[in-house]
Structure 1
Amino acid sequence: MPDQNDDQAVTPDAANTAGGTQDASQPDPFVVLENLNAENATLKDRALRLMADMENMRRRTEKEVTDAKIYGVSNFAREMLNVVDNLRRAVSSVPAEAVGAAGPLKTLLEGVELTEKDFLSRLARFGIKPLDPQGKKFDPNMHEALFEMPDESVPSGTVVQVMETGYAIGDRVLRPAKVGVSRGGPKVAAETLN
């Protein structure tokens, strides 16, 4: 007859589990927790970087769209500046004595002047404005110097003559103004340059 204590015999595996020691096939829960925390931190870092990249791309795209709206007409506008120049030349070529006389030439001149003003106002609606450098300090970013003129009455480097009007669109130069610059006058003080 079997002993009653035999039914309750303890196996070595059960003794290890009951005694608190882990089976070699089961991972340590602290190691698992540390691995999960590290993986969580890595995934959180990736998610934050991805969100930052997406925000940067959104801002860049918004700026590109805004620039396209403002500067998209630049090439067309640059070509149209020749029309404005030709209208100005037409008005300038009429002799002064013919301007005051009544008749068809005066009517034609008024029509050309009105066309020029209308054309300039339409360009202004798209942010295209003329540059007026007369009497200002020469700026190589906005002006193209064609010649230098000796002039002792103004500081050296001052625009004394505008040969061709320049234009800007937004904050960019569409076409630099072609100018004559003074030479030989007093030097401009550093405070007046800023």
Structure 2
Amino acid sequence: MEQNETTAAEPAATNDSEVLREATAEAAPEVAEHDRVSALESELADARRQVLYAQAEVQNVRRRAEKEAADARTYAATAFARDVLSVADNLTRALAAIPESLREDDKFKGLVTGLDATGRELDSIFARHGISRIVSVGESLDPNRHQAMFEVPSAETAPGTIVQEVQAGYMIRERLLRPALVGVAKAAE
């Protein structure tokens, strides 16, 4: 009888292991398929992230290039403008040096009128290209726009106030083209 029980138990164990093997064999492709799908979804999410990062980088590069091109167009005349400023300075000095008696003299009236018209035309050209003169006298010293050349003792003016302009300063749009050379008030001794 013992022999029969053992023999009967063996086929049951064999059946259980076969069933387990069959169930595992049937489930294995489903588990493998699920793992494969999860891996593919993960790769797809990574690829989407990389595409978004690449698109953002391309957009940033495009914006940067557009800004650099706009700045290049806006400030292309900077070197030329600096050179022309010396011409404007000389013209201003020439006009200031003409005494009133010569301005009224009929012989020089045409010359003075022509020089005045040239000065106005130069100012008009500067304005068209975004070049503006820095207001200095009476303003507080701004080291970003003014260069102090000397100090003048003054009891009437607050220290640090510009009292004299030696050379005009200019801006080209928002950038400094040339600082104004100025004399600044200091406390009287």
Same-fold call, TM cutoff 0.5: yes
Where structure 1 has 5 or more consecutive residues not aligned to the other structure, the ranges are 1-11, 186-194
Q: Between the two proteins, what is the percent identity of the paired residues?
A: 35
Q: Which residue of 1 aligns with 2:88?
A: 84
Q: Establish whether residue 35 from structure 1 lines up as the match of residue 39 from structure 2.
A: yes
**Residues 31 and 111 of structure 1: CA distance in aligned 2, closer, same or farther (over 3 Å):** same
Give, as a single letter, the amino acid of the residue that structure 1 aligns with 2:67.
K
- What CA distance in whole angstroms lies between the structure 1 residues aligned with 2:55 and 2:113? 61
Tell me how far 1:17 sits from its aligned partner.
Answer: 7.9
Tell me how far 1:106 sits from its aligned partner.
Answer: 2.0
Q: Which residue of 1 aligns with 2:176?
A: 173
Tell me how far 1:163 sits from its aligned partner.
Answer: 0.8
Q: Deviations over 1:77-126 (max 9, x none)?
A: 1101011111111111112222223x221211110110011011011101
Give the structure with the larger helix fraction. 2
Give, as a single letter, the amino acid of the residue that structure 2 aligns with 1:106.
K
Give, as a single letter, the amino acid of the residue that structure 2 aligns with 1:171.
E
Q: Secondary structure at the match of 1:48?
A: helix
Where structure 2 has 5 or more consecutive residues not aligned to the other structure, the ranges are 1-17
Contact 1:16 1:22 in 2 (8 A): no
TM-score, normalization by structure 2? 0.83
* Equivalences for residues 1-194 of structure 1 within 5 A: 16=22, 20-22=26-28, 28-101=32-105, 103-184=106-187
Query: Which one has the largest radius of gyration?
Result: 2
Task: Out of 156-165 and 57-66, give the one that drifted further.
Answer: 57-66
Tell me how far 1:70 sits from its aligned partner.
Answer: 1.1
**Residues 122 and 19 of structure 1: CA distance in aligned 2, closer, same or farther (over 3 Å):** closer
Give, as a single letter, the amino acid of the residue that structure 2 aligns with 1:153.
E
Q: Deviations over 1:119-154 (max 9, x none)?
A: 110111010111111100100110111101011211
Q: Cα RMSD over matched residues?
A: 2.0
Q: Which residue of 2 aligns with 1:189?
A: none
**Residues 71 and 18 of structure 1: CA distance in aligned 2, closer, same or farther (over 3 Å):** closer
- What CA distance in whole angstroms lies between the structure 1 residues aligned with 2:168 and 2:68? 29
